[in-house]
Amino acid sequence: MNNYIKVSVIVITYNHEQFIKQALDSILMQKVDFKYEILIGDDASTDRTPEILKEYKKLYPDIIDLHLNSVNLGATRNAYNLLMKANGEYIAACEGDDFWVDEYKLQIQVNFLDNNKNYIGCCHPCVIVDEQNKLSKHQKISWISNKKIFTINDFKGYYLPGQVSTILRRNIYKNKEDYSIFYKAHKFIGDRTTILIYLAKGCFFKMDKCMSAYRIVEKNKENLTFLIYSGNNKVINELNYTLQLESYANNVLKINAGFRSYKKVLFVDSIIAFMRRPSLRNINTIKTVLNNYKFPLDLLIYFPYGFIQKIYKKIIYEV
């Protein structure tokens, strides 16, 4: 039992030399009564991140399992490779530019799941910081639900129970099922895919205590959120990802995950994109969204409400 690993902490990183030490230190500071491992996947960073990781590997050879990719695989394939190697009963995550702020985070969450077998995972609130660790003016994330108990009915195609670094979940990957959809659905986005799979097996509980920090980096444009949600192809990329998840939910998981709700949001986004930059491509984007919704009239009825919601969220949310 001394070799039994209770938690596998997944760390994916790419060009995080400015932040990776803080991320790793926040994991290594954890005060726990169990054994845990840290699986790190560096996706062919071009800065000093690999050198820093090698230093930490030398210091903590029995805890850190380091994987340095020779070529850039993309965030989801990088994470998937680590998940397939996870030995822990539970899985936690901390991306290379995020960090934990409570030294008892893992112990608190493990105790909860040990004592509440009816939940597939648990999470907690987080703070939002910038590259200097300063609190952001906005402390809300538009795609994070406030629900205490998060079920498949709350997913609606894009909501999550918590930011990825706040979640501890049971390790379902040991059962050797085919979870390759994780990287096949999208090269960079994996949190929605993961949560969808887990929601087919159970629900999440949200604790009240804030125990981690989510970093938004805009200055150097390396932040994944910035890369995904900027550019003219946002709606099409999101629609394609949504359609893949919808097909997987219906045909493999045999569940209804409420994707119609998110398609309505994408319709509003497509109209706004056209209003900002009228073009044939943006008209075709609107048509594409309409063609992938069974009841187009619903979209037109929803638009005024969705437009107001979009303005409201723009004011109060960070992302």
> What pLDDT score does 101 carry?
98
Query: Pick from 194, 278, 195, 188: which is nearest to 238 by CA?
Result: 188
Please count the other Cβ atoms lying within 10 Å of the Cβ belonging to residue 107. 17
217 confidence band (pLDDT: 50, 70, 90) = confident
| Interaxial angle between packed helices 296-316 and 280-291, expressed in degrees from 0 to 180 and rounded to the nearest 10 | 120
Cβ neighbours of residue 302 closer than 8 Å, sequence gap 6 or more: 264, 267, 268
Q: How many CA atoms lie within 13 A of 245 on its CB side?
A: 31
Among 160-164, 234-238, 248-252, 302-306, the range scoring the smallest mean pLDDT is 302-306
Task: Give the mean pLDDT of the chain.
Answer: 92
pLDDT recorded at residue 317: 67
Residue 73 in 3-state DSSP?
coil
Going by the DSSP 8-state scheme, the letter that residue 93 receives in this structure is E
| CA neighbor of 168 nearest in space, from 65, 94, 245, 77 | 94
Is residue 153 classed as helix, strand or coil in its secondary structure? helix
Contacts of 205 by beta carbon, 8 Å cutoff, 6+ apart: 112, 116, 119, 121, 122, 123, 148, 149, 150
154 by DSSP, 3-state: which? helix
120-129, 212-221, 254-263, 296-305: least confidently modelled range: 212-221
pTM: 0.92
**pLDDT (0 to 100) of residue 295:** 85
Question: Residue range 203-229: average pLDDT?
Answer: 76
Per residue in 109-139, pLDDT (tens digit) is 999 999 999 999 999 999 999 999 999 988 9
d(CA 110, CA 91): 10
For the segment 151-178, what is each residue's pLDDT rounded down to a tens digit?
Answer: 999 999 999 999 999 999 999 998 878 9
**According to the model, what pLDDT value does residue 300 have?**
87
2 has a pLDDT exceeding 80: no
pLDDT value at position 221? 46
With 0-12 CB in 10 A as exposed, 13-18 as middle and 19+ as buried, what is 82?
Answer: buried
In DSSP terms, 126 is beta-bridged to 212
What does the alpha-carbon distance between residue 311 and residue 21 come to, in Å, rounded to a whole number? 37
Task: Decide if 201 contacts 172 (C-beta within 8 A).
Answer: yes
Residue 226 has pLDDT above 60, yes or no: no
What pLDDT shows up at residue 7? 98
Are 267 and 299 in contact by the 8 Å Cβ rule? The answer is yes
What is the C-alpha separation between 59 and 73, in angstroms, rounded?
A: 27
Whether 204 and 112 have beta carbons less than 8 Å apart is answered as no
- pLDDT at position 231 is 52
Q: How far is CA 187 from the centre of its chain?
A: 13
Question: Count of residues for the chain?
Answer: 319
- 42-91 pLDDT tens trace: 999 999 999 999 999 999 999 999 999 999 999 999 999 999 999 999 99
pLDDT of 60 reads 98
